[in-house]
Structure 1
Amino acid sequence: MTMNRDGCCADTEGLDPAVALFHSLSDATRLAIVRRLAGGEARVSDLMTGLDLAQSTVSAHVACLRDCGLVVGRPQGRQVFYSLARPELMDLLASAETLLAATGNAVALCPNYGTDSAPAVMTTTEVRA
């Protein structure tokens, strides 16, 4: 048992991979990229247009997701087409949406990680439509 920075007890033994997974998804831009890739493969330029972000920003976030094993790249000529490495990732996000609906999105009120106004990202339902 260890103490976290807030003074709460936390048993983190064996949780490092889960912590890394959820940390990789904790950024709104990375989550938006994952949700966009759920609709099919895309190049960085496609993601830039869809998310209205700079190439360097998109590339850095795609690299993070790739390094975490969540996204894979398929080279074709001078371009790379990115896609989700594991379709189970969308199951995880759907479960998270179910949990958020069940809790009334109470996590948004969390004093450490909540936000007064969450950034707009597409829901899984919107991606599949």
Structure 2
Amino acid sequence: MTINKDVCLATENGSDLDNAVALFHSLSDGTRLAIVRRLAGGEARVADLVGELGLAQSTVSAHVACLRDCGLVTGRPAGRQVFYSLSHPELLDLLASAETLLAATGSAVALCPNYGADAGSGVTA
């Protein structure tokens, strides 16, 4: 997706925007984001992720498969095991930028009525 910094407009090509939406959607689930953050520290097997995240093997496998299908994670077979790692180091830059933005906004996104911590709970500010 091409962004013009002067006027902050996306390109006319809708597929660029669709691709960006798909990328951010793939990272919008807390479990997938936790897996990506863990893999930022090095490769891991599903069994490692299950132990570290405290989730069911089927849950972790499904989320790893989603990330793999999106091209964000790759698997390296080693015998009967598969070691997963991030496919693109640029993903680390994206995560770092997100952390910078969260710090700059004082994590105000947590107050968002649609996506914040209390979203859907009926709590209003």
* TM-score of the two chains, using structure 2 as the length reference: 0.82
Shift of 1:74: 0.4
Q: Residue in 2 aligned with 1:124?
A: none
* Aligned mates of 1:12, 1:25 — CA distance in 2: 22
Query: Which letter does structure 1 place at the counterpart of 2:21?
Result: V
- Secondary structure of the corresponding residue to residue 47 of structure 1: helix
Query: Which letter does structure 1 place at the counterpart of 2:37?
Result: R
Shift of 1:116: 3.1
Aligned residues: percent identity?
Answer: 82
**Is structure 2 residue 76 aligned with structure 1 residue 74?**
yes
**Is structure 2 residue 33 aligned with structure 1 residue 31?**
yes
Query: Which letter does structure 2 place at the counterpart of 1:15?
Result: L
Residues 43-94 of structure 1, C-alpha deviations (whole Å, 9 max, x = no match): 0000000000110000000000000000000011111000000011011000
* TM-score of the two chains, using structure 1 as the length reference: 0.79
Shift of 1:99: 0.4
Displaced runs of 4+ in structure 1, greater than 3 A?
Answer: none
* Aligned mates of 2:54, 2:113 — CA distance in 1: 29
Distance 1:42 1:95, change over 3 A: same
Structure 1 unaligned blocks of 5 or more: 1-10, 118-129
**Higher RCO, Cα 8 Å, sep 6+:** 1
* Aligned mates of 2:37, 2:19 — CA distance in 1: 21
Q: CA RMSD, aligned part only?
A: 1.6
Please list, as runs of the form range in 1=range in 2, the aligned pairs for 1:1-129 lying within 5 A after superposition.
Answer: 13=14, 14-116=16-118
- Secondary structure of the corresponding residue to residue 15 of structure 1: helix
Structure 2 unaligned blocks of 5 or more: 1-11, 120-125
Shift of 1:115: 1.2
